[in-house]
Amino acid sequence: MADSFTPPATQWAVVVNGDDKVIIWNDAPCPALAPDQSYIRTDAVAVNPSDTKMRGDFVTPFGILGTDYAGTVIAVGSDVKDMAVGDRICGSQHAMNAHTPDRGAFGQYNVSAGRVWLRLPPPMSTEGGASLGAGIGTAGLAIKQLGLPLPNAPVAKPVKVLVYGGSTATATVAMQLLRLANLVRIATCSPKNFDLVKSNGAEEVFDYRDQEFAGKIRASTKGNLKYALDCITTVESTSACFNAIGRAGGKYVSLDPFSTYVATRKVVSADWVLGPTIFGDGSTWPPPPRRPGSDEVRRFSADLFAIAQKLIDEGKLRHHPLHVLDGGLEAVLEGMELVKSGALSAQKIVVRLTS
């Protein structure tokens, strides 16, 4: 198939121009098709908070924005055995990587990236699929950095894990993975989202605005909590997680660089996840994200997405609640403004690009 396929010369895409402005560009380059990857018509994209933060030093001018997409395979590379034309797939891109500025999700076409993709089974909508990639990648890396197992290797004896920000899109995926690994989830969120967070696997949920909640978590864990996953990463969230971890110490992992001045307990080791490293290519962004590639992470992503594939095929992993917009790439700009406004609660913006 690849032999007879010539990628279009240009496409419509959402890019950041030389003046650091987000624009829709009708002359964006189309990526080449590698022998081991597939070419996908983009049918839907999701907007992540990180997409709205790609400005200034993070930008490769005229690089294509966007992390998460879902669509239909229109061509496969000559070495591809596990995808076929017509398959519906979803996946993620390492947008604004200085080496591959033509590889962002917010264009008419995507080329799959490594093994960071999933084939969508019939019950999973294309829009739901579009919301999965960054969540699975980020949650998987966070669980790895906590030193905890994925669902293919459940622990024999349940261990409690605090998930701060339980109603975030990353947390609802993380809690499902933790539950399937026999780990016990304790979460925080607003009371209006307690039911959602419980339905995604939290056994106990606390209101983070309740002044007493750190004490309540310490009581619930009898002062023995060892693991905290911070999906928010503010001074308050870091401080609350450090206070909740028991006297013997443990591990704290956040999704952004955390404030070290509140992470002062020596018995707690702390780390943070850079989602786009899931591709194994490291990061070209300015420090602290900048880092070299890692074959070990590349292998981990292949394992993680194989595990996730099995879970979605078996109906064991579901997507975050969606807020779906129509209106093509213009609606992607609208979605980015909605995410930036902070008005969303427990919803992932997904934009349909084709009907």
Where does this chain bind ligand CO7 (CB under 6 A)? 48-50, 67, 92, 133-134, 137-138, 165, 167-170, 189-190, 193, 208, 231-234, 237, 255-256, 275-276, 278, 345-346
Output the smallest distance, CB 344 to ligand CO7, in A.
6
b/e map 33-43, b = 16+ CB within 10 Å:
bbeebbbbebb
Give 148 or 274: the residue with its C-beta nearer to ligand CO7: 274
Which residues have CB under 8 Å from 294's CB, separation 6+? 277, 280, 282
Which residues have CB under 8 Å from 66's CB, separation 6+? 14, 45, 51, 93, 95, 104, 105, 106, 107, 332
Give 158 or 191: the residue with its C-beta nearer to ligand CO7: 191
- How would you list the strands of the sheet with 160-164, edge to edge? 202-207, 184-189, 160-164, 227-230, 250-254, 268-272
Radius of gyration, alpha carbons of the chain: 20
Give 181 or 187: the residue with its C-beta nearer to ligand CO7: 187
Output the smallest distance, CB 46 to ligand CO7, in A.
9
Task: Measure the CA angle with vertex 113, ends 108 and 117; round to 5°.
Answer: 90
Are the CB atoms for 15 and 64 separated by under 8 Å?
A: yes
Q: Which residue is nearest to ligand CO7 (CB)?
A: 275
Q: Is 149 left (phi over 0), alpha (psi -120 to 50) or beta?
A: beta
Give 28 or 105: the residue with its C-beta nearer to ligand CO7: 105
Output the smallest distance, CB 3 to ligand CO7, in A.
30
152: closest CA among 186, 182, 129? Answer: 182
Output the smallest distance, CB 355 to ligand CO7, in A.
26
Which residues have CB under 8 Å from 214's CB, separation 6+? 240, 243, 244
Output the smallest distance, CB 126 to ligand CO7, in A.
18
Output the smallest distance, CB 305 to ligand CO7, in A.
10
Output the smallest distance, CB 66 to ligand CO7, in A.
10
Give 138 or 176: the residue with its C-beta nearer to ligand CO7: 138
Give 49 or 78: the residue with its C-beta nearer to ligand CO7: 49
| Angstrom distance (rounded) from CA 213 to CA 215 | 5
Give 37 or 48: the residue with its C-beta nearer to ligand CO7: 48
